[in-house]
Structure 1
Amino acid sequence: MEHLSLSCKHCTQILDTFLLSEEEQHRLELGPVSEVLPVSNACPDHTPLLLPALIKFDQKLQDEGNEDPPFGQRTDDTRMLIIYKFPQRTTIDFLIVNNGVEFALKLDQQIVYREDELDHHGLGILVDENFIDITLLERWKLQCERDHEQCRFQRSLTKGDPVRPLLLIDVRERCIVDSSKSEGDFVALSYCWGVPEPGEPYWFRNEKGISEALRKPGALSIGTEYGDKLPATIRDAIELTRVLGERYLWVDSLCVMQDDNVMKSIELPKMAEIYASACLTIIAGQGSNAGYGLHGFPFTRPRSWNQEVVTISGERLMRSTLLDIALNTTRSNVYSSRGWTFQEYRFGRRRLIFEDDSVRWECRDGGHCEDARHKPAREKPVIVEDLPNPGLYELNDIINDYCKRKLGRNEDAFPAFCGYQRVLGRVYPEGFINGMSVGFFDEMMAWVPLELDVYRRKAEKEENSPPSWSWMGWAGKMNVKYNGKRLLDPEVMELHSLHVGNLVDWYTMTGLDSPKLPLRDSPQLKNEDFSLSREPSMLFCKTQSAIFQLGATSWEDEEDIEWIGPWYEIRDESGKWSGVVRLHQREDAKDVGRSIELVAVSVGHGPEKEPAHEVHGLVEWRCKERPRNGTEYHFYNVLWIERKGDVAYRRAAGRIAKDVWESCDSRPVDLILG
């Protein structure tokens, strides 16, 4: 349709971009800042759209120590402003080029729909800034339940049958009930517990001493001893579940007795399946703790949603939440940074997401949001649980999504992931131990950090710390895929240049005095209901140990270190180049020149020279001192260990050239890794 003829060419360019079809991609330089946003005679329409965002951007640069003058203090602001539309999206973004680098300035803009104009192209909807339309949520839920076959529980989601937790909240009777005696679907709540704000009442959790009291009808009602101590998020979720026509709600703090280790060992490994089995997952993505609540209902506090509406020549523009659904993501907030919420969000097949004072619906078919009349097509994520033959690349993505999250306690690294591990164990046939795929164990034992610094997750009691040999034992992003792709099915071939082979026989131990069991015979690999507390934390093998020296880094350019990471050379006692090691922290470089103990864990080989198709490969390809002896480079994967009594702990991982290792003064050792 035609729109108004505008005197400002930039307004015309902006509206023309909105009129493009959803499939089209568009990029246009609006012009330098001094032209688009002149200090005098500025356009009254697009200036309110872009100027506040530019001022905010410049303020951020100033806060970060940038010395460039901000907007208004430049004689000629030549920074380029760009309007951009991604294909398959209806929103547009504004970018700025600052010192040759593009930055997002204002994102996800949408034209507001006008009911007074037939076939108006706007998709945005202005909503009540204080209250959510409950009937809208009911319609979303009803439509999905009625029309979306793929959103009903499917065995492919967890490779298992639906499960019911042991306990549920009866939202009508306002009490805890046995799930086995309660028929019907249940809703699950995903939230962050956190710490109460000053002045907030003490929040209780279900424990043995009060469990019977919580089973009495009305025990969780407002005005009762326990009802008044419920954090707002749980209290609001109970009422919302009732309003949406469901009777039962699962909340971890009330439906798992926190001081009952037997119950926890049963329920925590089933967390992913509990959320997959729930008919709906309420995601409390706003606020830093459970006291924040679900704002925007008559039974809660009002919300305060500012849709940032501006007008350009009669057309209103607004910030849209459509993109959040299209990309299948939550925004950057406390919820999305927590380790426990990782599997909860991932496995919820229907999600009602509260964040930024708005609410939206996500399911396996698509999604809805309050502020749009358009149902966006979602980018379907690759779900490893559905892949017929997954490899380390897919697993690496999952691990790094988890690793970037935070945990309140280091000892929770495994419990917060074990539900997902249980599901993955049905996809990777040989199962997992402490996050490590048994089928890819030789490759995974050579994992290295992706970040410059990763730190050991140490619990108050050493026996509760996740093991040093697993990526779970360290805080930070990891690379477990070993730069090549090997699949479990030997008949499926993949092009890759690096190969890892078995060297030692691994055994698991639950303690120094426990029996040694072959890795693939560990009980939890045979029995999914094996106790959570019995996940073996120690490994045993017979291997070779040798003493080398930690050499200096081979990277002269600081940018190489930022990109590749702190890889340092390993040298023998005569100073000859022997291999490389990837330090876990840059501060470990202070140990350059010291003797380090290395143990061999696997063998590998790859091209002698760096292939053109490799994106990330071996740093040795760039080491000038490394001997070249043919067409292939053979090596041993090694661990730098430190010993505490009879137990050794991983300090770092690296590689030693095969000829060097086999000719060095090594000795056989019985290695116990903790």
Structure 2
Amino acid sequence: MWEEVPATIQHAVELVRLIGEEYIWVDRLCIVQDDHETKQEQISQMAFIYGNAYFTVVATAAYNAEEGLKGIKNVSPSMYENVWPERANMDHYGLVAWSPWNERGWTLQELVFSSRSLFFHKNELTWECHCAIWHERMQLADINETNCLGTHNPNARGFRYSPWPDLQEFHQLATSYSRRQLSFSSDILPAFAGITTALAHSFPGGFLFGLPEVAFDVALLWRSSGPASRSSKIGEASVPSWSWMVCLDQKISVDLSPWASGFSYLAGSSSEQVSEEDGRRTYAPLHVAYQQEWNSRWNRKRPPAGVLDGLVTQPICSWYVKEETGDRLISNDLDVFKDSCRNNDSELPPGWERDGDLFYHSVDPHRRFKYPITLVTNEEEISIEKGSSFVIKARTERAFFYNIPEPYGQAVDRLEGEAVVNLCNSEQVWAGCLRVQTRTVLWRLLTKKIKCELVVISKGYIDSSADGWSRLDEHDALKSRELEKYEFYNVLFVEWKEGVAYRQGIGRVDKSGWEAESRDMIDLLLA
């Protein structure tokens, strides 16, 4: 029986015995596999398991569980070489960021939540905690209490979720997860559940298939950063078509840059402000350092998407999710106090105070906001990601526009680039653009004129002086207009099956162009 256990697990058990510990948690052995409800509950608690463990054993160089842990007695020799700590730390970040381990979807939560980790690389071991990175090749400095109360870099070990919904931080986590690989489509939601469960303590309403309910309008604005290598048939994906997680199912990279329109409540980057908490400093989460290393590798494959700074999103729909007990309103109220608190004499929500033109809350008095936002006020409000219903609904406007086909040769070239298609109205006047998600749909729109059904999900604008102006897909088409402000509607390109709509792409249509067309109100059921 023991001989059938994978080598990596055998070696990890031996390691625990050698250091004098008694217990080890192994996901594939400790999580109940034949009880769905228990399995989902345990998976959602992985953030707390990693966070409270003595340390996490990480096999960075292993492509499978049979390769074992290199660096334990009778497995492979140790190495000793006196090197400068700065160089060693750079080597460590690179080894982790470029490793097979860091490409797997399930391992993001290990990286984010583990307070201490022992990394087994191909030719050496490294230990990382909040106060040090230790290498086999480096002489250890004297260890004392003062050193261990400090920190070795500004991305200290141990993820601490903020007491307020940090959409910018979640943007980084979701982007990192979307670039990883999963063996099974059924793992897409569970492998991210540890992160959404932990962040539900600070995001009112929790998450719905990876979308924060408190900023639902903004979260719906994700887009693909290239055509899919394969496409699922309508209604057969393992996650809803409206969730950014469908990009993992379709094996494409997701572009969350439109989420920048939801960062407007932050007075500065969430990683810029450093606060004191119980005499200890709190920092940006550790995964940022590895993400920078990973980006250096990723960006050699494709150019990075720029953040659409200056984009403003304005909600116009009330969204509901269909559940067994009936339709439930999705809160979508992050910015509900934005306008009501502009006047210095206006009453503030409980716990909020003014600091000049900015605001702060008692849960984090060192953090400044441009206006008060919605917070989780008690533990009873915490909502854990269940992903129970694919269908969301809204009463919204619908209109029909046409795509603008391209010559055959250009269409062939466009298949390998960004999946952007220009739109025109019935009078052949340019009206906006779409980003579509699948190669099949992209080819159809590039080569044949089609009547596209579009539904409004929100509206917005951007000033031509904003940093994100030049990064708009429609920037070239707008240059000749010499606009000070571009106003638009955010729309989904949908196709229907058995009375339910499925997202095939997302885009923006010029506000005046949309309002000039024939429109009707529909009850949108989106899955």
Q: Same fold (TM over 0.5)?
A: yes
1:515 maps onto 2:326 in alignment: yes
Q: In structure 1, what is the Cα distance between the partners aligned to 2:227 and 2:510? A: 25
Work out which of the residue numbers 312, 316, 334 in structure 2 matches 1:499. 312
Q: In structure 1, what is the Cα distance between the partners aligned to 2:94 and 2:312? A: 35
Q: In structure 2, what is the Cα distance between the partners aligned to 1:382 and 1:503? A: 41
Percent identical residues = 27
Amino acid at match of 2:253: K
Q: In structure 2, what is the equivalent of residue 435 of structure 1?
A: 210
**Deviation sequence 1:238-281 (CA, Å, 0-9, x none):** 11111111111111111112111121121011111111111110
Work out which of the residue numbers 101, 104, 111 in structure 2 matches 1:335. 101
**Deviation sequence 1:126-183 (CA, Å, 0-9, x none):** xxxxxxxxxxxxxxxxxxxxxxxxxxxxxxxxxxxxxxxxxxxxxxxxxxxxxxxxxx
1:643-662 correspondence runs (5 A): 643-662=496-515
Amino acid at match of 2:492: L
Q: In structure 2, what is the Cα distance between the partners aligned to 1:565 and 1:627? A: 24
Q: In structure 2, what is the Cα distance between the partners aligned to 1:664 and 1:266? A: 49
**Deviation sequence 1:185-208 (CA, Å, 0-9, x none):** xxxxxxxxxxxxxxxxxxxxxxxx
Contact 1:403 1:478 in 2 (8 A): yes
1:574 maps onto 2:427 in alignment: yes
1:359 maps onto 2:130 in alignment: no
1:576–1:321 CA distance, 2 compared to 1 (3 A): same
Contact 1:278 1:348 in 2 (8 A): yes
What TM-score do the two structures reach when normalised by structure 1?
0.57
Q: Secondary structure at the match of 2:58?
A: strand
Q: In structure 2, what is the equivalent of residue 236 of structure 1?
A: 11
C-alpha displacement at 1:413, in angstroms?
0.8
C-alpha displacement at 1:391, in angstroms?
4.3
Amino acid at match of 1:369: H
Q: In structure 2, what is the equivalent of residue 638 of structure 1?
A: 491
1:168-187 correspondence runs (5 A): none
1:565-644 correspondence runs (5 A): 565-585=418-438, 588-592=442-446, 593-607=449-463, 609-611=464-466, 613-614=467-468, 617-624=471-478, 631-644=484-497
Q: Secondary structure at the match of 2:471?
A: coil
C-alpha displacement at 1:456, in angstroms?
7.1
RCO (CA 8 Å, sep 6+): is it higher in 1 or 2? 2
Unpaired runs of 5+ in structure 1?
A: 1-225, 310-314
C-alpha displacement at 1:504, in angstroms?
0.7
Which protein is bigger by CA-based radius of gyration? 1
Q: In structure 2, what is the equivalent of residue 405 of structure 1?
A: 180
Q: In structure 2, what is the equivalent of residue 293 of structure 1?
A: 68
Give the stretch that moved more between structures: 581-590 or 339-348: 581-590
Q: Secondary structure at the match of 1:641?
A: strand
1:435–1:329 CA distance, 2 compared to 1 (3 A): farther
1:65-84 correspondence runs (5 A): none
Q: Secondary structure at the match of 1:264?
A: helix
Q: In structure 2, what is the Cα distance between the partners aligned to 1:328 and 1:377? A: 17
Contact 2:204 2:214 in 1 (8 A): yes
Q: In structure 2, what is the equivalent of residue 175 of structure 1?
A: none
Q: In structure 2, what is the Cα distance between the partners aligned to 1:323 and 1:259? A: 43
Q: In structure 2, what is the equivalent of residue 196 of structure 1?
A: none
Contact 1:456 1:473 in 2 (8 A): no
What TM-score do the two structures reach when normalised by structure 2?
0.71
Q: What count of residue pairs does the alignment treat as equivalent?
A: 426
1:373 maps onto 2:139 in alignment: yes
Contact 1:272 1:343 in 2 (8 A): yes
1:623–1:239 CA distance, 2 compared to 1 (3 A): same
Q: In structure 2, what is the equivalent of residue 128 of structure 1?
A: none
1:33-52 correspondence runs (5 A): none
Contact 1:504 1:542 in 2 (8 A): yes
Contact 1:566 1:582 in 2 (8 A): yes
Q: In structure 1, what is the equivalent of residue 241 of structure 2?
A: 468
Q: In structure 2, what is the Cα distance between the partners aligned to 1:643 and 1:562? A: 24
Q: In structure 1, what is the Cα distance between the partners aligned to 2:457 and 2:83? A: 63
Contact 1:446 1:482 in 2 (8 A): yes
Q: In structure 2, what is the Cα distance between the partners aligned to 1:250 and 1:545? A: 52
Q: In structure 2, what is the Cα distance between the partners aligned to 1:391 and 1:267? A: 25
1:416–1:276 CA distance, 2 compared to 1 (3 A): same
Q: In structure 1, what is the Cα distance between the partners aligned to 2:382 and 2:192? A: 14
C-alpha displacement at 1:404, in angstroms?
0.8
Q: In structure 1, what is the Cα distance between the partners aligned to 2:211 and 2:394? A: 16
C-alpha displacement at 1:544, in angstroms?
1.4
Q: In structure 1, what is the equivalent of residue 523 of structure 2?
A: 670
